[in-house]
């Protein structure tokens, strides 16, 4: 292993697992498909009854994204994040305490990048959540395999259990006639408030000043933060599963990984079909802002449907990569995965420039199927750019900066 002045250094290129970079690249594409509508329309308009585009072609496109993309690819990225943590902890003959300390420095800088991402660019940032939950992940570095699996199941259940508790309390309160009237009135008022926020966001992002966009972005981010409790604890689940897979060398040998992943695939496919059908049905009519039984079923479908479909994709992508289905494109996708941090941030920079008033001002004017086309075009450009960049340099620009800050020493770029 390479060693720096601190005794810890990144892996050499020869030590990378290309399949992990490929999977990271596929996750990056899936996340972009989902994020495109969040770049281009108010976060409050993402619930079933408040869509900006209700014609048949857009509704079909939206349901396609719900079933095959939404809540499927950030779990894949999270699993790879957990594997990356395990690999980080193996790469130097140093004490686990020193390695853990170094990794926490890495997470602290990720948190800084995430906060800058939120304040300067976009409310849909996931880096802050990854950094915060990453600190939680480090507590499990010595845990047994059984503890990792059991704890991952517990964190997977948390969003469903919390939502069920809130819905149950509201339903109990509704048993009192006076309370029922107030609750229904509150829900109606909330819907009107949301419609006002949607109208304000459409005007602000497409026509407002940067200062006005900044204030609107923070307002929407305050809503996103609710997801840290009610939607995103499952990220820790996939972090821990990633540690488990890294420790058990699931991706160390092509034959072994396909055999193990095939078992996961066979168990996950039926669950993926059932739970994503549930999510599709209730996402079409439910709302993330109204805590009722529809919301509970929608979150249940999203959590379990996302997890099971992620395992389906994990096997299928790995199988196709090893069978050469992607051909040379598979290697190119892996270069995008090696630069996932840079590509994720540049997606935001490019898309906010396209949609916000300080760029082309197309916010709210690009519908769902048009957004898919833009996402495919943008990712194609990133594939080409990543391929040629890594022909000359070892890391993407933001990866290089992150590593340099982590190790406290300028990293070699060429």
Q: Give the 3-state secondary structure of 312-330.
A: HHHHHHHHHHHCCCCCHHH
Residue 352 lies in a domain: yes
Q: How many domains does the chain have?
A: 1
CB atoms within 10 A of CB 266: 12
Tokens of 240: 């821990």
pTM above 0.85, yes or no: yes
pLDDT on residue 348 = 98
Tokens of 394: 């070892």
Task: Report how far apart, in Å, the C-alpha atoms of 71 and of each of 138, 234, 275, 291 are.
Answer: 24, 10, 12, 19
Tokens of 321: 């990569």
Rounded Cα distance, 50 and 45, in Å:
5
Residue 47 lies in a domain: yes
pLDDT on residue 291 = 82
Residue 311 lies in a domain: yes
End-to-end CA distance of the chain: 18
86 closest CA partner among 196, 11, 3:
11
Residue 371 lies in a domain: yes
Tokens of 293: 């039984």
Residue 5 lies in a domain: no
Domain containing residue 58? 13-407
pLDDT on residue 149 = 96
Task: Give the model confidence (pLDDT) of 209-252 as tens digits.
Answer: 999 999 999 988 988 887 777 778 899 999 999 999 999 989 88
pLDDT on residue 49 = 62
Residue 64 lies in a domain: yes
Average pLDDT per block of 10 residues along the chain, 414 residues long: 39 61 97 96 76 90 95 96 93 73 95 97 94 95 95 95 92 85 81 86 95 94 79 92 94 81 95 96 79 90 96 96 90 96 98 97 95 98 96 95 93 86
pLDDT on residue 90 = 84
Sign of the Cα pseudo-torsion (20, 23, 29, 30, in order): negative
pLDDT on residue 288 = 72
* Cβ–Cβ < 8 Å for 122, 215: no
pLDDT on residue 193 = 82
Rounded Cα distance, 77 and 96, in Å:
25
pLDDT on residue 96 = 75
Residue 183 lies in a domain: yes
Task: Give the model confidence (pLDDT) of 25-46 as tens digits.
Answer: 999 999 999 999 999 999 888 7
CA dihedral 44, 47, 50, 51 (to 10 degrees): 100
* Cβ–Cβ < 8 Å for 341, 399: yes
Residue 1 lies in a domain: no
CA atoms within 13 A on the CB side of 391: 8
């Amino acid at each position: 292993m390479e060693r720096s002045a601190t005794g810890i250094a990144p892996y050499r290129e020869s030590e990378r697992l290309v399949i992990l970079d490929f999977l990271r690249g596929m996750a990056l594409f899936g996340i972009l498909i989902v994020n495109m509508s969040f770049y281009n329309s108010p976060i409050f308009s993402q619930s079933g009854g408040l869509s900006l585009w209700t014609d048949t072609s857009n509704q079909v496109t939206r349901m396609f994204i719900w079933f095959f993309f939404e809540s499927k690819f950030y779990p894949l990225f999270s699993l790879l994040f957990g594997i990356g943590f395990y690999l980080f902890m193996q790469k130097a003959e140093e004490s686990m305490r020193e390695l853990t300390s170094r990794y926490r420095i890495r997470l602290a800088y990720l948190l800084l990048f995430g906060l800058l991402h939120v304040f300067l660019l976009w409310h849909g940032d996931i880096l802050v959540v990854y950094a915060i939950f990453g600190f939680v992940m480090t507590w499990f570095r010595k845990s047994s395999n059984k503890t990792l699996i059991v704890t991952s199941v517990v964190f997977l259940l948390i969003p469903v259990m919390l939502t069920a508790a809130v819905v149950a309390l509201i339903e109990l309160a509704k048993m009192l006639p006076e309370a029922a009237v107030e609750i229904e009135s509150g829900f109606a008022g909330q819907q009107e408030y949301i419609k006002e926020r949607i109208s304000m966001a459409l005007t602000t992002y497409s026509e407002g000043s940067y200062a006005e966009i900044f204030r609107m972005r923070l307002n929407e981010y305050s809503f996103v933060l609710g997801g840290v409790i009610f939607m995103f604890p499952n990220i820790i689940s996939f972090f821990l599963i990633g540690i488990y897979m890294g420790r058990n060398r699931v991706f160390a040998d092509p034959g072994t990984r396909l055999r193990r992943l095939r078992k996961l695939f066979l168990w996950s496919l039926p669950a993926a079909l059932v739970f994503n059908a549930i999510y599709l049905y209730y996402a079409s009519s439910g709302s993330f802002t109204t805590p009722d039984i529809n919301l509970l079923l929608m979150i249940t479908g999203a959590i379990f449907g996302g997890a099971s479909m992620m395992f389906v994709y994990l096997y299928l992508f790995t199988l196709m990569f090893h069978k050469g289905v992607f051909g040379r494109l598979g290697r190119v996708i892996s270069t995008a995965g090696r630069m996932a941090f840079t590509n994720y941030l540049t997606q935001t920079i490019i898309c906010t420039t396209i949609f916000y008033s300080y760029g082309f001002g197309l916010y709210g004017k690009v519908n769902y199927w048009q957004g898919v086309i833009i996402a495919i075009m943008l990712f194609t450009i990133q594939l080409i750019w990543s391929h040629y960049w890594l022909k000359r340099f070892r890391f993407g620009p933001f990866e290089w900066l992150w590593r340099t800050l982590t190790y406290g020493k300028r990293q070699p770029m060429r």
